[in-house]
Amino acid sequence: MNVLWALLLGTTSALAFEYGLEANKINEKVYCFFGKPEVMNETNNGNMVNSCYADTGHHWIVVDPGPTYAYAKEAYEKMQSIKQMPVAMVVDTHVHDDHWLGNGFFKAKGVDIFGGSLFKTEVNPDAKTRMQKRISKKAYAGTVVTLPTHYVDTIYRTAVDGEPVQLMALSHTAHTAEDLLVYLPNMQTLFAGDLVFNDRIPSLRDGDINGWIAALAKIRKMPLRTIVGGHGNAVDRHAVNLTYDYLVSLRNAVKNAIDEGVDIEDATRTIQLPAFSGIALYDMMHAQNVEAAYRTLEWEDE
């Protein structure tokens, strides 16, 4: 029986999907796996998002466990090869499934998973996920929709191995209706989730341009050495600038169009921001962002 079990495990392991993940040390205490500046598809299989591990001394804190069970498992095993220690907590920065479908791997280990209250109303555990529809069956195998075990709707403070940890839920819509920041003050490190993109154009589809800009303005004033976004491998205190500058430029352009009486169809068709046109996904995302911004801004003076 033991021989058969060993053979079964070996066969299952051989058939498991592998991403070829590489851990990048971004400061003395933090490692990140950086995704590609793409949308999810059957080639990247969801490896287009950032997942990070913070070393508190005797435990790891995981921020955004990634798009699948296979991804979370592979990243965890890579980190155990760097430093073997348990995971104290997992944090999901927001409800977009590329960031948190790896939850199931950690729940099976009994790890506490924290996320915003929006998960309760916006995620249907019985529905087919966006990731499931767009990546290969082999990569998605073993992935189960797994909600957080703890919900944060304001500020949650704790400590792991004496390291203070703050989870801060925004009180207004920004990238989504509820974005969660992970702040490690002793490390001067902030995990900003998809409030920060720095190698591709951000998406406003679920967001509010004014709330997003306001959130980034506050982040820019925080005493930080490291800012990790949900997409992109720039991680210094200036990592926020691309998203901030793009959104401010977009808001100004859309406001001007509204003031000049340009309707939403013409604005969506004509507003361009050449300074950002060379950034990945501009051609795919920009027109959608113009439309989303217009729908928000047209009611400001009403």
pLDDT of 63-91, one tens digit each?
999 999 999 999 999 999 999 999 999 99
Residue 183 in any domain: the answer is: yes
288 Cβ contact partners less than 8 Å away, ≥ 6 residues apart: 203, 204, 205
Kindly report the three-state secondary structure assignment for every residue of 255-273. Answer: HHHHHCCCCHHHHHHHCCC
**Residue 88 zone, left/alpha/beta (φ > 0; ψ -120 to 50; rest):** alpha
Residue 182 in any domain: the answer is: yes
Is the pLDDT reported for residue 296 higher than 50? Answer: yes
Amino acid 15: pLDDT: 62
Q: Which domain holds residue 177?
A: 19-193+205-235
Residue 29 in any domain: the answer is: yes
Residue 166 in any domain: the answer is: yes
Residue 52 in any domain: the answer is: yes
pLDDT interval class at 299 (50, 70, 90) = confident
End-to-end CA distance of the chain: 74
Give CA–CA dist 45/68, Å, rounded. Answer: 9
Residue 229 in any domain: the answer is: yes
Residue 293 in any domain: the answer is: no
Residue 155 in any domain: the answer is: yes
Is the pLDDT reported for residue 234 higher than 50? Answer: yes
Give me the residues paired with residue 114 across strands.
91, 150
Structural domain count of the chain: 1
Q: Are strands 150-152 and 51-55 parallel, antiparallel or unpaired?
A: unpaired
pLDDT interval class at 5 (50, 70, 90) = very low
pTM for the full predicted model: 0.94
Is the pLDDT reported for residue 10 higher than 70? Answer: no
Task: Choose between 9 and 241: higher pLDDT.
Answer: 241
Return the CATH number at 82: 3.60.15.10
- What's the average model confidence in pLDDT over 42-53? 98
